[in-house]
Amino acid sequence: MSKVPTGTDLDVPVDEPSAETVNLPVIEPDEQATFDTSSLSRSPAPPSTRTRPLLRSRFGSLRYEILITFVLLLSLTMAGAMFALRQLLIDRVDDRIEEELQQEVQELRRLSNGRDPSTGRPFNGDIERIFEVFLQRNIPQDDQTMLTLMDGRPFLRPRKEPLYRIDHDQGLIETWSNITEPLRGRADTTAGGFDYLAVPILVDDAAAGVFVTGQFRDVQVGEVDDAVKTAALLSLITLLIGSVLAWRLAEKILRRVGTVSDAAYGISESDLHRRIQVEGRDEIAQMAETFNGMLDRLETAFTMQRAFIDDAGHELRTPITIIRGHLEVMGDDPKDREETKALVLDELDRMARMVDDLLLLAKSEKPDFLHFDTVEVSDLTVALFEKATALAARGWRLEGSGKGRIEADRQKLTQAMMQLAQNAVQHTRDGQPISIGSSVEGGAARFWVSDSGPGIPPAERERIFDRFARARGAFRSSEGAGLGLSIVKAIAEGHHGSVQLDTVVGKGSTFTLVLPVDQPHHDGATT
């Protein structure tokens, strides 16, 4: 219970509303005002809100799903916002009503403690004169009214006609005339809900009169509803505009996604040249770039696969043709049979080597291709040189031996270096120099083989590392399949390294394996 400050002649305590809501019409005739028995009809109740059923999408298009999801989310958000806005505004209406009721009582209290403006003297408990001066000075608003009671009957009210004549409501008059403490309540009238504050006027601790001030709450709530309806209309317009924009945006995004889909459908093993036009720098553009990169890799892989199959078929067809031809013409002569047998075995050995090389290249794509261990560079270099000298009678030289340790697959590294040494032998003559060496610096180990052969023309320097590729050299004496340098490259890349070529036509070539000293550990690698 809150209480208005009291003065000498007026005590205005403010109590909480009673448990029961009174439904009473009140009227009080006044000498200075004309009373009217007319009343306003009750304003119609707002139309009931019907819950709109959720639409179940019957469309398979992602565009409709995006639009429906957007509309549902935005509608729910706006509906929640409208509800919260209305509740907030109504709470403010209730706070403002409470404030204004208390303010009227405070003003009456201050007047009772003041002087009569006509005489300049204190009121000295003259309640009738206090009521007269107060109502002359205070003109209520359209949704507000006041009433004073003396001896349980209406005494004075403002001249302005209210929305509802509470002085004609006998039930409210009876309720207010008997109070001894402030009464805060709400009554239903034909003009809607009426919030009031009735305060007994105490003179010498006895009730000398009652002051009632009240407001028609439904009028202010109606203004709130009008504002909410306006906001709801603007929200509906926003929803419509947003839906159109969402439809256009979904169409734009899905059209670009459809371009990727169309490109995917248009791709076949024989046609991988199609690419997606990249527009912008957003996620769709990044997806298109990624897709184009995948197509580049696929096209390269399919091109290499076709070339590999063609070359492998050609390389295997030759020894098969040779073997068949000799077997078909082989006679009964023992010498002829021995010669044919030797030739067939040689071709079969060559086919076996080719198959072994192809299997090795196939395994190079697997994570367990290499088995790493700690290798002493100096010891490995010496061992490589000793093995190379047994390949052919050349002027072998050991150019240098690096100091340090690396993580590498010793067997595969030896295989790569022996392949480079064999390649140097095939392009040199007896007695020509071939150098082998190694070094360790800058976190990398280098193993090289240098020959004094004819060198490699610029047009063939990239091609010679492809499978089944052969360089055209003046002293080439091998009938191999052209897989040796491909194996060397696969072993180097398996070590996270590379093969470097330094060549001068007519002066020779140097192949260098560049390998990191420390290997990143990965699945399938044994250290």
Domain CATH number, residue 354: 1.10.287.130
Report if residue 310 sits inside a domain.
Answer: yes
CA atoms within 13 A on the CB side of 272: 17
pLDDT in tens, 173-205: 999 988 889 999 999 998 889 999 999 988 777
At position 152, the amino acid (one-letter code) is G
Report if residue 423 sits inside a domain.
Answer: yes
Residues 355 and 380 in one domain: no
CA atoms within 13 A on the CB side of 327: 9
Report if residue 170 sits inside a domain.
Answer: yes
Report if residue 253 sits inside a domain.
Answer: no
Report if residue 206 sits inside a domain.
Answer: yes
Compute the average pLDDT of residues 311-325.
73
CB–CB of 408/494 below 8 Å? no
The CATH number assigned to the domain holding 422 equals 3.30.565.10
Q: What is the mean pLDDT of the chain?
A: 79
* Residue 9 binned pLDDT confidence (cut-offs 50, 70, 90): very low
pLDDT score for 117: 87
Rounded to whole angstroms, the Cα distance separating 112 from 109 reads 5
Residues 326 and 386 in one domain: no
Between the alpha carbon of residue 376 and those of residues 117, 239, 380, 401, 405, the distances in Å are 116, 74, 6, 10, 5
Residues 7 and 132 in one domain: yes
Residues 326 and 430 in one domain: no
Compute the average pLDDT of residues 208-230.
91
Sheet holding 153-154, edge to edge: 153-154, 144-150, 206-216, 192-203, 183-189
Which of 363, 384, 404 is at the close of a domain? Answer: 363
Which domain, by its residues, includes 305?
295-363
Number of compact structural domains in the chain = 3
Angle between helices 283-329 and 217-265 (to 10 degrees): 20
Structure tokens at 403: 């100091």
pLDDT in tens, 43-94: 344 444 434 333 333 334 777 888 888 889 989 999 999 999 999 999 999 9
Residues 11 and 141 in one domain: yes
Q: Considering only CA atoms, which of 96, 192, 200 is closest in space to residue 148?
A: 200
Residue 214 pLDDT greater than 90, yes or no: yes
pLDDT in tens, 111-136: 888 888 888 888 888 888 988 999 98
Report if residue 412 sits inside a domain.
Answer: yes
Residues 359 and 380 in one domain: no
pLDDT in tens, 382-421: 999 999 998 889 999 999 899 999 999 998 899 899 989 9
Q: Comparing 501 with 473, which gets the higher pLDDT?
A: 501
Residues 6 or more apart whose Cβ sits within 8 Å of residue 21: 185, 186, 187, 188
Residues 87 and 158 in one domain: yes
Residues 423 and 508 in one domain: yes
pLDDT score for 16: 40
CB–CB of 244/67 below 8 Å? no
Residues 322 and 387 in one domain: no
pLDDT score for 185: 92
Region of poorest pLDDT, from 173-182, 231-240, 244-253, 295-304:
295-304
Residues 316 and 213 in one domain: no
Residues 331 and 404 in one domain: no
Q: Considering only CA atoms, which of 214, 213, 204, 212 is closest in space to residue 10?
A: 204
CB–CB of 401/378 below 8 Å? yes
Region of poorest pLDDT, from 10-24, 237-251, 493-507:
10-24
Which of 307, 338, 363 is at the close of a domain? Answer: 363
Which of 315, 334, 363 is at the close of a domain? Answer: 363
Residues 343 and 462 in one domain: no
Report if residue 321 sits inside a domain.
Answer: yes
Report if residue 228 sits inside a domain.
Answer: no
What DSSP string runs through 32-67? TB------PPPPPPPPPPPPPPPPPP----HHHHHH
Q: Partners of 510 in the beta sheet?
A: 450, 502
